[in-house]
Structure 1
């Protein structure tokens, strides 16, 4: 097997976690464990494609003792290529810092060292040295915006050569978007268990009972001015144990989106870029905005601010607070 390509001696550019370049040393930086694990999977698959006899070793930098890195990186009897994964750099020992700084100056041949740092400034000297050497750096940051999560879902389906419609993407993010690993698992399940274009009905069949999905059904009905459906869905959710907090959060998110697009003109793609939303979210918010006036939006924002405080402890009856918010919003919208 030819050795892994040496990192260029220049400042490292950010590497895509879906396609990590092979190099003697790779840094995975950030707190999102799922992205880090995907990056490691990609590196491992590429190395195994070059040589199936790849030897895997794991080290914990927070419990590291001097000399361990040099020992595991030394050539084995049959000279198999090695992948060494080092976790917990954010709490690395002083011994690891010393050994790692020495190692990266002259990495062992046929060895790929993957360093996982959860974030922060611990080991800054090592981070700066890796940057100076040009080691690939993969940012492992949480996907916080719905637009980012929607892009993730679309990419998962594209990778599997499957299609999912925009409303189904929205429904899936609403149902399981709080956790990236759960979102990836949900994509895998839908890809495995369905055929053809995945629709919002498919998503509802598998994940419609999730708290987030229920909350967004309440919000969708309220923003559309459909008070009977909004209230019946809300009361069913509350009766089955859904907490008022995510219900108010879903309402607030929907109202904020309507407020963002309310008086704006332009293409969905342009507004999506400007507002940090997906084009389908812009389209949905524009449809909802047709039910609203500026004055009614002010009323909705005020009642949601009150409800948010009340469901988080400012009132004795959070259920009444969320019911009142739904009623005010649904009756303020034009049918």
Structure 2
């Protein structure tokens, strides 16, 4: 979503998402999530190069730049060559760089773009204020994504390439690459290149070479649907391949909580998903599984989940036995 102007009542720049980024004399990438900043840089470079095949690209470190270095690279050219000047370490700029930046900004022409990276923290406040005060500046906020935001990020990423992904394929992809956004982006980009039409679960499984074959999400799905044999098989394989019992417990507990929230409600999946801020497919699965539970058993299992979590965090010696007992209890729908 575009947010124009006004931070603290003094900014004149425009804030865009990484999907809305467009050419501008000043582009600020602010925030700690390097994967989003890298994606934005690639998008800017690709867009400028498509319009200017002879694009000149220069790199400057704001912390180490010598006096006059930025001025030399960014001053208007007689021949109007397109230039992309990538500037790192804006959170620790030298005095010489700041002097150059203040002098260069009024001189920038349409063929020159300063792409400035500020990776967060309290440094570089003067540089940020200077850029945000410019009407011809764009900012992309590169925030670290919450788990709940990654699904939307991937769907937006694919939509920017005019592609879609099946809900099951999306869930599998997010679960497999939950820890590394850069890796998730790389896989999504590979899927986008290789797949035609809507990306399927089969295509995800093929590309990830079995990484999503056994994971916490599939263990939770099998247990919640009452398939104890499959849940136990997946659990044992998951534990053997390094999955943590506490992570499995947390995911299964969240699934139980969502089942409790949707239990007995008559609204549509879409309405509930919006109200609960969940993916519609997750709500659909939770409602399907909850129909086979008794309300009292579901409440009892939520208490059991809290006890299991305590045991896994230090109250039990054999954590594999604890998580196995919990998974089987869920698969029996609390009737233990």
Normalised to the residue count of structure 2, the TM-score between the two structures is: 0.84
Checking the alignment, whether the CA contact within 8 Å between 1:224 and 1:333 is kept in structure 2 is no
The whole-number CA distance in structure 1 between the counterparts of 2:200 and 2:22 is: 35
SS in 1 for 2:121: coil
**Which deviates more, 299-308 or 30-39?**
299-308
The Cα shift of 1:274 comes to 2.5
**Structure number with higher helix proportion:** 1
Q: Counterparts of 1:35-74 in structure 2 under 5 Å?
A: 35-74=36-75
Q: Counterparts of 1:1-335 in structure 2 under 5 Å?
A: 11-75=12-76, 78-104=79-105, 106-109=106-109, 110-134=111-135, 135-146=137-148, 148-195=149-196, 197-207=198-208, 209-210=210-211, 213-262=214-263, 264-333=265-334
The whole-number CA distance in structure 1 between the counterparts of 2:60 and 2:264 is: 55
The whole-number CA distance in structure 1 between the counterparts of 2:162 and 2:254 is: 32
Query: CA deviation digits over 1:56-92, x for unaligned, max 9?
Result: 1111223334333223223567542211111222333
The whole-number CA distance in structure 1 between the counterparts of 2:171 and 2:191 is: 14
Superposition CA RMSD, Å: 2.9
Normalised to the residue count of structure 1, the TM-score between the two structures is: 0.84
1:222 and 1:100, CA in 2 relative to 1: closer, same or farther beyond 3 A? same
Checking the alignment, whether the CA contact within 8 Å between 1:28 and 1:114 is kept in structure 2 is yes
The Cα shift of 1:195 comes to 4.9
1:316 and 1:65, CA in 2 relative to 1: closer, same or farther beyond 3 A? farther
The Cα shift of 1:138 comes to 0.8
SS in 2 for 1:168: helix
SS in 2 for 1:119: coil
The whole-number CA distance in structure 1 between the counterparts of 2:65 and 2:164 is: 46
Gaps spanning 5+ residues in structure 2: where? none
Checking the alignment, whether the CA contact within 8 Å between 1:223 and 1:291 is kept in structure 2 is no
Paired positions, count: 326
The whole-number CA distance in structure 1 between the counterparts of 2:21 and 2:199 is: 29
Query: CA deviation digits over 1:278-323, x for unaligned, max 9?
Result: 2112212221222334433333333333333433444322212211
Checking the alignment, whether the CA contact within 8 Å between 1:174 and 1:212 is kept in structure 2 is no
1:111 and 1:188, CA in 2 relative to 1: closer, same or farther beyond 3 A? closer
Query: CA deviation digits over 1:88-135, x for unaligned, max 9?
Result: 22333444344434433x143232111111123322222223222232
SS in 1 for 2:91: helix
Gaps spanning 5+ residues in structure 1: where? 1-6
